[in-house]
A = this chain, B = another copy of it.
Amino acid sequence: METRKKGPSGRPRGFDADQALERAMLVFWEHGYEGASLAALTDAMGISATSVYAAFGNKQELFRKAMERYATGPSDYLVRALEQPTARGVATELLAGTIRTTTRPSGPQGCLGVQGALAASDSGREVRDLLADWRNDSCCRIQERFRRAADEGDLPPGTDPAVLARYVTTLAFGIAVQAASGVCGDELRAMADAALRTWPPV
């Protein structure tokens, strides 16, 4: 499993795979998995369908890679939120990051992990389940962080980390829906500020 190039490698590909994946992610983000046709994807990526399948497998694999890129790119605020020193900081950073990413002026509105495939036909069931797992995993990671906060005395006694994690992720997913509906960031920030003023909701 050498990463070095060895042997006759033939003609190298004539496009930037990273840039192509970035553009594919934006199309999936805006139109969802099933709403993004191969024609729309290849058009945005600037390459032919042949190149897409040679470089990424098929549409489903392309979406998986686009989702990974989304998780480590536009959605990396989750990691930064988990690194906050206090539970309140975690919630604050999570909601602020969600609002920032879902209402960015240039780019799709909403969250790829939510609107990528919330409901789908039978052929899109796997992708739908993939995103559901991603959302539940996000909730679990926050729950673990809140459990640690409870152990550290950062949360009032009797606070249930699971309920608290479900609460902040519900707000985050709701923000994603509001953003997809065209609600602006300022209004969502005012809402998040109000919600965080009573923290934690024991």
Contacts and interface: CB of A to CB of B under 8 A. Distances in A.
A119 B162 contact: no
Given A170-B175, A181-B135, A201 B202 contact: no
Contacts of A163: 187, 190-191, 194
Nearest to A166: B191
A185 interface: no
Contacts of A170: 171, 174-175, 177-178, 188, 191
A31 B187 contact: no
Contacts of A40: 121
B124 A119 contact: no
Interface stretch (A14-22, A46-54, A77-85, A110-118): A110-118
Interface residues of A, number: 51
Please indicate which of the listed interface residues A35, A135, A180, A190 has the most CB atoms of chain B within 10 Å of its own CB: A35
A166 B188 contact: yes
A185 to B, nearest CB: 12
Contacts of A201: 194-195, 197-198, 201
Interface in A96-119: 110, 114-116, 118-119
17 contacts: A29-B119, A34-B121, A35-B121, A114-B177, A115-B119, A119-B180, A135-B181, A136-B182, A163-B190, A163-B194, A166-B178, A170-B177, A172-B174, A173-B177, A173-B178, A174-B174, A198-B201
